[in-house]
Structures are given as C-alpha cells and as structure tokens.
Amino acid sequence: MNHAAHSPAPLAATDLNLDPYWMPFTHNRYFKTKRPMDRLLASAKGAYYTTVEGQQLFDCLSGLWCSSLGHGHPKIVEAVKRQLDIADYVPAFQVASPESFRLAERLADVAPADLNRVFFTNSGSEAVDTSLKIALAYHRLRGEASRTRFIGREKGYHGVGFGGISVGGMVANRKMFAPAMIPGVDHLPHTHNLKEMAFSRGQPAWGAHLADDLERIVALHDASTIAAVIVEPMQGSVGVVVPPVDYLNRLRAICDKHGILLIFDEVICGFGRMGDWFGAQAFGVVPDLITFAKCVNNGTVPMGGVIARQGIYDTFMTGPEHMVELFHGYTYSAHPLAVAAAHATLDILHEEEVPKRFGALGRQIEEAAHSLKGEPNVIDIRNCGAAAAVELSPLPGQPGLRGLRLFEEGLKRGMLLRFTGDTIAMAPPVVTTPDELHRMIEAVRASIRAVA
C-alpha cells in the first residue's frame, strides 16, 4: 500500500536557517554544511515519509522503532483530536483523569504475570531512570538498604538520563559524562560474538553461558549490595543483538537465587515487535519491572512508563496513608493526549491482532534479510521478531563511514534506513506488504553493492 502523503509546500535549499537547531544524535556540521534536502521530512502517512522535495521514503525503522502501525492511523489521529476538545492537560499529582486509570488497567492486562502496576513517564529514558529509582527504594523499604548496585550490559542502550547511560554500555554515550555516572554499576558481557553466532537465524544457539557472568559479579560484590539487573530482551539500538537461547532464563534464575530484581527494558520490544505483547512473553521470561515507551501510542505523543510486579508496588504502600509513597513523577506523566493516543493504539493492537501479525512479518523479514548473505562486506545478519540488522565491515580506520554511505545510498533508492556504526537496522511497520519488503531488501542490496 503506497499511502501518498499530501504534497508539502516546496522549499528551496536556502529557505531554512539550519544554525539554531542543535540536532540530537546527529552530525550537526555534516548535516548543516551539506544541507541535505533528502533528509528534510515534511509529512508522514502509512509506511512513508515525504521529503520537502516530494520524494517518498519507505520508513524502514518505523520512525525510531516507534510508529509500528504506520503513520497517521485514522483512529489514533481522531482520538488525539477528540481529546484536545475534552481536556488538553490534566495534572497527574493528587488528581488524575479517569482515562489514565483505564489505560493502566489495559496495560496491566497485556503485561505478563503479576506485573500490574503502571507508572507513567514521557520517554524511554525517564522510564529507565524511574525503574532504577523504584528498585533502589524497594530494597530500602524492605530493610535492605545496602542493595544499591545496578548491573547493566555492555552494548546496552537505556536512553540518555544519567541512570540510563550508567547502566548502558555504548561507549560514545558514556565517555563524555564519565565523572557524573552513578556509582556502583557493573556490566555483564555483551552477547554479540561474530565468531560464534554470525548469520544465526533468530536466537543464536551459542551464548547462554554469558549470563553466568552475573554469578562472578555477585561473588565479587556480594548479593546484598546488588539492587537490580537491567537488560533489553532484544538489544535494538546497538543493531538487533538477539538473546541466545536460554540466556534470559538463566539471568532470571540467578536473580531469583540472589534476591536481585530483573528489569526488562522493553522500550523497543514492547507492543508487538517481538511477535507477542512484550519480549517477556515472546522469550518466556517474567521480569520484575518492565520499562516501555515508543509503540505504546505509536509514537504519536511522547509517553513512557514502568510496569511493576504487584508485590513491588505493595512494598511502597506503607506508612501514613496521607503521605506520598514515591517522591517521583513528571508534569506530563499520563498526559491526556498521550493517554488518548495509547487507548486508540491498544484498540488497534487488539482488533487487528498486531503482535501476531508482527510474528508473521518477522518470518518474512528473516527470509528476506538473510538473502543478503554473500553481498560485499556483509559480516553478519541478525533477526528477531519483526526486526533485522545487517552488519558491514568498517572502512579501514573509519568506523561508521560505510554505514553513513549506505544510509545515503538508501535515500537515493527511496529508503529511510537507520544506521548505527556500520550496522543498518530494519523494523518496518506492520502494514508492510510483501512487495514493499522485497523492494526494501533489494534497495539495501543495491546500496551495499554501491558502497563496496
């Protein structure tokens, strides 16, 4: 389905002053010197963006992993517009809209096991920092105030708050801010090993033992000092690094043995992409806390949150009843527009069986992506749920440049790809047709050859 967006007003290369906007996670000087009209996105509809020049770009990563239903879904648009007439803003401290309670109930319904208490934030980064705070406070309330350490994982991405970069494992996001990292954080080894698992389809058979490193960390620091382990079930931002078979189970078992909370950062995995509601269900492992954001409302209005096991919530419900139990929250927690968009998104996820459809799309993506094996410089292809990544060897001495060039070749072929270093990731919207998938993969193939 090729949803043509309404034509944007034509824009000349010199019309815009590019200087004042400090672009996030962007090579500002490269962008502003180049003045790339093919990267100015004027509108979005279905699986396509339209540039200011009127070129259609297929949305290979569903925005930034967030617009999984495609853009401008009429039911979500309608819900947000309607909400603006009902209430544009409602505070979340000491008062609330009824819809925020209804949304929490619906999220609890689709979350695994007894994860049924929902705290709202406005982003994945805030969700992560919130989950770390909850973990610390939980142990303290239970009389285990010495449990202050967090264990993240190398190559992990948990957003850009100080908590998130501390437990995260992407060096570029950490090195500038090293003096301000939260203390007492250790990292599990990452599970990305080309020698052992390159070109695995789905979950690699090798690597479950890497979870046992948690025992080494426990032996080093003692369990009584460790609050929580945080991992992404499938690591998206680093380029679709897939958990080895049995790896997450082992982490769960070791956490249980030592009274450590297990946090799944499901900001990318949540709401269908893994072929189930959450990675937790897709991989059959129940964490203690889930962080979510992005697809909860199809990326329409910023929203994130944490879903906690009931026992964690109950631990906070002590002391005088008139007292605040958790001194934490945001002006825009459960913002009415975000809540309205989330209700509409959940309606669609249920009615259109989106998690199941992502499972089916994932099988097609696996076949298509692995057909790129043997193309020049391709050193790995990975896939999980409805996501895949192709890793290329870097140009000598210039890591990341081949990835950038591939991204630019993709644009020439009408594809908006996402690159991290020399890896490109693909996670197209659920509305992607077999023909669109074919065109995406063939454009990636041609682009890989162009940058050889």
Ligand X SMILES: Cc1ncc(COP(=O)(O)O)c(C=O)c1O
Minimum Å distance from CB 277 to ligand X?
16
Q: CA–CA distance from 7 to each of 81, 110, 164 (Å)? A: 22, 39, 39
Does residue 49 belong to the site contacting ligand X (CB under 6 A)? no
Does residue 432 belong to the site contacting ligand X (CB under 6 A)? no
CA distance 128 to 160: 9
Measured from the CB atom, is 164 or 362 closer to ligand X? 164
Pick one of 46, 70, 112, 124: the residue that binds ligand X (CB under 6 A): 124
Minimum Å distance from CB 232 to ligand X?
5
**Which tokens is 445 given?**
């193939």
Does residue 290 belong to the site contacting ligand X (CB under 6 A)? no
Q: CA–CA distance from 372 to each of 41, 84, 204, 375, 421 (Å)? A: 28, 46, 18, 6, 18
Minimum Å distance from CB 86 to ligand X?
26
Minimum Å distance from CB 160 to ligand X?
6
Measured from the CB atom, is 127 or 218 closer to ligand X? 127
Minimum Å distance from CB 164 to ligand X?
6
CA distance 168 to 147: 19
Q: Interaction with ligand X in 153-172: which residues (CB under 6 A)?
A: 157-159
Q: Give the 3-state secondary structure percentages of the chain, helix then strand then coil, rounded to 5.
A: 40, 15, 40
Amino acid present at 245 = V
Pick one of 191, 237, 333, 345: the residue that binds ligand X (CB under 6 A): 237
How big is the site for ligand X, counted in residues (CB under 6 A)?
A: 15
Minimum Å distance from CB 94 to ligand X?
26
Measured from the CB atom, is 338 or 443 closer to ligand X? 338
Measured from the CB atom, is 125 or 191 closer to ligand X? 125
Minimum Å distance from CB 99 to ligand X?
22
Q: List, in sequence order, the alpha helices (H) in 20-159.
A: 28-34, 62-65, 74-86, 98-110, 124-141
CA distance 428 to 376: 24
**Which tokens is 230 given?**
């945080």
CA distance 215 to 30: 45
Q: 54: closest CA among 3, 15, 10, 13?
A: 10
Residue whose C-beta lies closest to ligand X: 124
The string of DSSP codes covering 191-253 is: ---HHHHTT--SS-SS-GGGGGHHHHHHHHH-GGGEEEEEE-SSB-TTT-BPPPTTHHHHHHH
Q: Interaction with ligand X in 7-26: which residues (CB under 6 A)?
A: none
Does residue 267 belong to the site contacting ligand X (CB under 6 A)? yes
Pick one of 59, 99, 186, 232: the residue that binds ligand X (CB under 6 A): 232
Pick one of 5, 104, 128, 411: the residue that binds ligand X (CB under 6 A): 128
Q: 426: closest CA among 342, 349, 345, 364?
A: 364
Pick one of 293, 342, 437, 451: the residue that binds ligand X (CB under 6 A): 293
Considering only the stretches 2-10, 121-129, 197-205, 379-387, report the one whose residues sit in contact with ligand X under the rule CB under 6 A.
121-129
Considering only the stretches 94-102, 151-159, 362-370, 437-445, report the one whose residues sit in contact with ligand X under the rule CB under 6 A.
151-159
Minimum Å distance from CB 304 to ligand X?
6
Pick one of 69, 223, 260, 268: the residue that binds ligand X (CB under 6 A): 268
**Which tokens is 128 given?**
């992560």
Measured from the CB atom, is 232 or 391 closer to ligand X? 232
**CA 322 from centroid of its chain's CA atoms:** 37
Minimum Å distance from CB 240 to ligand X?
11
Pick one of 62, 83, 100, 125: the residue that binds ligand X (CB under 6 A): 125
CA distance 228 to 237: 21
Contacts of 212 (CB under 8 A, 6+ apart): 250, 254
Does residue 265 belong to the site contacting ligand X (CB under 6 A)? yes
CA distance 325 to 9: 51
Pick one of 70, 169, 236, 428: the residue that binds ligand X (CB under 6 A): 236
Minimum Å distance from CB 219 to ligand X?
28
CA distance 160 to 168: 9
Residues in contact with ligand X by CB under 6 A are: 123-125, 128, 157-159, 232, 236-237, 265, 267-268, 293, 304
